[in-house]
Chains A and B, each alone.
Chain A
Amino acid sequence: MTPAARLKNARWAGLRDVSWRAYLLVLPALSLVLLLFGGGLGLAFLQSVGLLGLTGDGSLSLAAYGEALGSSQFWRSLGLSLYIALTTTALSTVLSIGLALLLRGAGRWASFACQLTLPIPHLVGIAGILLLLSPSGLISRLLYTLGWISTDQDFPLLVNDPANIGVMTHFLWKEIPFMTLILLAVLRGIRPELAMQARALGASPWQCFWQVTLPLLQPGIVSASLIVFGFIFGNFEVPFLLGSTYPRTLPILVYQAFTNVDLNQRSVAIALGLLLSLISISLIALYLWLGSGQPFRRRNFGGQR
C-alpha cells in the first residue's frame, strides 16, 4: 500500500469512527425522545383504532375517527385554532422583525428588558391579562377615572370574547420577545459589511432591508415562527382561560372528550388529538417546503438563496 493510500484509508476509518461515536453520543437523548414521543403516539394510535383500550372488542375500527370528523364541532374548533395560531404567528413575526431591528442599534439594557416576559409562566401572563383587560380590570378603571366610560358595561369585551382578542394579546405579549431574541441573535451574526457594501453600491435603506438583511434573516424567521405556530396551535390553558366560550379550540375539545364520563369518548378524544398532531405536522411540512429549500441544513454564510 502506498503511503497516500494508507493515509486515505486511515482518514476513512477515522470518519467511520467519528460517525460511530456521534451516534453513540446522541443515542440516550434520541432514544428517550423516540420512546416517549414516538411510543406515546403509537400507543395513542392503537387506542384510537380500538386495538388497545378499556372499551371495544379489540378489533380494528375507525369509528372514533368517523365520529370526530363527522361532528360540526370539530370543524368549527379547527377553524378557530387555525385563525388564532395563524393570525398571532403572522403578527408576532412582523412585529418581532421590527423590534429586532430596533433593538440592534439600541443598548444592551433594552434587549434585556425586552426579554422580560420570556421566562414568565403562561398562567401568570393569563392572570395579568385578566386583571388588566377584563370589564372590571385596570384599563377599564383607568377609562372610568378619565370619564370615558360610565360603567364597566361600556368597556368592550376583551377576555372570553368571541374574537379571542384576549388570547391573541396574551400570545403576542409572550411570543414577540421570544421571536425577537432569536432574530436578534441571527441579526448580530450577520456581518455589517454586507449592508454597508449594498449601501455603498447605491441601495436605498429599504432595498438594503429587503434584499440583504431579510434574506439573511430568513432561516431564523422560519424556525422561530415554526416554533411559535406549533406552540400556539397546541396550547390549552390560554384559550381555556382567556378564550371564547363557544366555539372552543381543538386542544380544549380533546380535553373535553378525554374527561367525558362516557368512556367511549376516550377513543374519540385520542383520535382528535392525533388529528391535531397530524394537522400541525403537515402545516409545518408545508411551511418548510414553501419557506426555504433546506431549512434544516446548517446555515452557511448567506448561501441559502
Chain B
Amino acid sequence: MIRRTLLILIIATLFLPFLPLLVWSVAQGWYFPQLVPQQGTGAHWAAVVAPGSRVLQGFGQSLVIAALSTALALAVGLPAGRALGLMAFPGKGAIKLVLLLPIIVSPLATLMGIQFVLIRLGLNGTLAGVVLVHLLPTIPYMTLVLSSVYANFDTGYEAQARSLGATPTQVLWQVTLPLIAPGIVVGALFAFLISWNEFLLTFFVGGGRVLTLPMILFTSLQGGNQGLTAAIAVTSVIPALIFLLFSSRALQDDAAIGGLGDV
C-alpha cells in the first residue's frame, strides 16, 4: 500500500506542470492571488485555430518536416538496423559509438559548420535545410531502435520462405516487413516525435524563416500572453499523446526502447 501511495504521488507530481497550462489556455485575466480564474474564455483557442494563424502554419511546417525526416531516417535506418541487430562484424561497436555521438554531443559546433555550407548552397532558412539537420538526431535513434527490433527477429522465417520459392523481394515485403511492422511503427513514431519537438536545430538553421511549432512557442514564451502561450503549448502536445496511445502496447514488450539501455 505504501508503494501504491508513493507511486500515485509521483505520478501526480509528473502531471502537475500540465495543470496550469490547461487552466491558462481557457482563462481570462487570471491575476495573482486568484487560485482559480474568475472568468473563462475561448479567445486563446480561437486565435490558435483561426484560419491562417501562425500556430496552424507552424503546425503544418512541423508536420511536413517531421514526416520527411522520419521517412528519410527510416530508409537508411532499416538496413543499418538489420546489420547492427542481426550480424556480427568487426567494428560494430565503433559504428554504434559513431551513431551515438550526435545524440550525446552538443550539436552547436556542428550546426555552425553545417550552416556555412547551407548558406552557400542557398539552403539556410529553407525547409530542406531544416529537414537535413533533423536527420542528425533521427537517424541514430531510428537505427538503434530498429537494431533492437531486428535483434528479436527470427531469420528462420526468411529462410523458410526462400526455401519455399519466394524471391528476396517477396521475402522482404511479405515476410520480413510485416513481422517487424510493430517495431517500425515505434521507431517511426519516435523519430517523428524527436523532429517534432526539436528546437535548437531549427533555431540555428531555420534562420527565423522556418517557423515550426516549437519556434512559435519559443517566441510566445518570451512575450507576455500567458493564455495564448498555454494554448500553443497544449497544441504542441497532440502528437505526443498520439505517440503514447500507439506505443503503449508496443512499448510493453520493452524490446524497442530497451535497446537504448544496451548500446
A26-B83, A127-B233 given as contacts; is B240 within 8 A of A121 (CB)?
A: yes
| Cross-chain contact of A128 among B6, B11, B233 (Cβ < 8 A) | B233
Q: Provide the residues of chain A in CB contact with B122, threshold 8 Å.
A: none
Most B Cβ at <10 Å: residue of A32, A121, A126? A121
A184 to B106, CA, bound (A): 27
Instruction: Give A170's nearest chain B residue, CB to CB.
Output: B17
A230 to B107, CA, bound (A): 10
Q: Provide the residues of chain B in CB contact with A227, threshold 8 Å.
A: 103-104, 260
Q: Evaluate contact between A220 and B262: CB separation under 8 angstroms.
A: yes
Q: How large is the interface on A (under 10, 10 to 19, 20 to 34, 35 or more residues)?
A: 35 or more
Q: Evaluate contact between B199 and A123: CB separation under 8 angstroms.
A: yes
A124 to B218, CA, bound (A): 9
Q: Provide the residues of chain B in CB contact with A41, threshold 8 Å.
A: 109-110, 113
CB within 8 Å of B: which A35-53 residues: 36-37, 39-45, 47, 52-53
Q: Provide the residues of chain B in CB contact with A137, threshold 8 Å.
A: 20
A59 smallest CB distance to B (angstroms) = 18
Grouping DSSP codes into helix (H, G, I), strand (E, B) and loop, the A interface class, with mixed when no group exceeds half, is: helix
Instruction: Give A112's nearest chain B residue, CB to CB.
Output: B248
**Is B33's CB within 8 Å of the partner chain A?**
yes
Grouping DSSP codes into helix (H, G, I), strand (E, B) and loop, the B interface class, with mixed when no group exceeds half, is: helix
CB within 8 Å of A: which B98-142 residues: 98-99, 101-114, 116-117, 132-133, 135-136, 139-140
A230 to B109, CA, bound (A): 14
Q: Evaluate contact between A128 and B21: CB separation under 8 angstroms.
A: yes
Q: How large is the interface on B (under 10, 10 to 19, 20 to 34, 35 or more residues)?
A: 35 or more
A118 smallest CB distance to B (angstroms) = 8
Q: Provide the residues of chain B in CB contact with A125, threshold 8 Å.
A: 17
CB within 8 Å of B: which A13-57 residues: 18-19, 21-26, 28-30, 32-34, 36-37, 39-45, 47, 52-53
Q: Evaluate contact between A144 and B98: CB separation under 8 angstroms.
A: no
A299 to B263, CA, bound (A): 9
Q: Evaluate contact between A33 and B139: CB separation under 8 angstroms.
A: yes
| Cross-chain contact of A120 among B108, B203, B229, B240 (Cβ < 8 A) | B240
**Is B97's CB within 8 Å of the partner chain A?**
yes
Q: Evaluate contact between A131 and B20: CB separation under 8 angstroms.
A: yes
**Is A198's CB within 8 Å of the partner chain B?**
no
Q: Evaluate contact between A121 and B84: CB separation under 8 angstroms.
A: no
A29-B76, A112-B248, A145-B35 given as contacts; is B233 within 8 A of A124 (CB)?
A: yes
Q: Evaluate contact between A144 and B221: CB separation under 8 angstroms.
A: no
| Cross-chain contact of B101 among A37, A129, A140 (Cβ < 8 A) | A37
Stretch in B49-57, B86-94, B164-172, B173-181 touching the partner: B86-94
A216 to B234, CA, bound (A): 40
**Is B96's CB within 8 Å of the partner chain A?**
yes
A186-B262, A189-B258, A223-B262 given as contacts; is B136 within 8 A of A36 (CB)?
A: yes
Q: Evaluate contact between A116 and B104: CB separation under 8 angstroms.
A: no
CB within 8 Å of B: which A210-264 residues: 219-220, 223-224, 226-227, 230-231, 233-237, 241, 251, 254-255, 258
**Is A181's CB within 8 Å of the partner chain B?**
yes
A104 to B57, CA, bound (A): 43
**Is A161's CB within 8 Å of the partner chain B?**
no
Q: Evaluate contact between A136 and B101: CB separation under 8 angstroms.
A: no
Contact string, B1-41, partner A, CB cutoff 8 A, digits 1/0? 00110110011001111111100100000011111000000
| Cross-chain contact of A251 among B31, B79, B102, B106 (Cβ < 8 A) | B106
Q: Evaluate contact between A127 and B108: CB separation under 8 angstroms.
A: no
Q: Evaluate contact between A108 and B21: CB separation under 8 angstroms.
A: no
A65 smallest CB distance to B (angstroms) = 13
| Cross-chain contact of A19 among B84, B90, B99, B200 (Cβ < 8 A) | B90
Q: Provide the residues of chain A in CB contact with B132, threshold 8 Å.
A: 36
Q: Evaluate contact between A121 and B214: CB separation under 8 angstroms.
A: yes
Stretch in A69-77, A200-208, A272-280 touching the partner: A272-280
**Is B244's CB within 8 Å of the partner chain A?**
yes
**Is A269's CB within 8 Å of the partner chain B?**
yes
Q: Evaluate contact between B98 and A34: CB separation under 8 angstroms.
A: yes
A48 smallest CB distance to B (angstroms) = 8
Known pairs A115-B251, A132-B16 / 11 extra A-B pairs, C-beta < 8 Å = A29-B139, A47-B113, A114-B14, A123-B221, A124-B234, A128-B17, A136-B32, A138-B20, A141-B35, A251-B108, A284-B104
Q: Report the 6 A-B pairs with minimum CB-CB distance, sorted nearest first.
A: A234-B106, A128-B17, A185-B258, A40-B110, A44-B113, A43-B113
Q: List 30 A-B contacts (CB under 8 A).
A: A21-B83, A25-B82, A29-B76, A30-B80, A33-B139, A37-B102, A40-B113, A108-B252, A113-B11, A114-B14, A115-B251, A119-B244, A121-B217, A123-B214, A123-B221, A127-B21, A127-B230, A132-B16, A185-B254, A185-B257, A189-B258, A220-B262, A230-B105, A231-B104, A254-B108, A255-B108, A266-B112, A270-B112, A276-B106, A276-B109
Q: Which positions in A face B, CB cutoff 8 Å?
A: 18-19, 21-26, 28-30, 32-34, 36-37, 39-45, 47, 52-53, 99, 102-103, 105-106, 108, 110, 112-117, 119-132, 136-138, 140-142, 144-145, 152, 173, 177, 181-186, 188-189, 219-220, 223-224, 226-227, 230-231, 233-237, 241, 251, 254-255, 258, 266, 269-270, 273-274, 276-277, 280-281, 284, 296-299
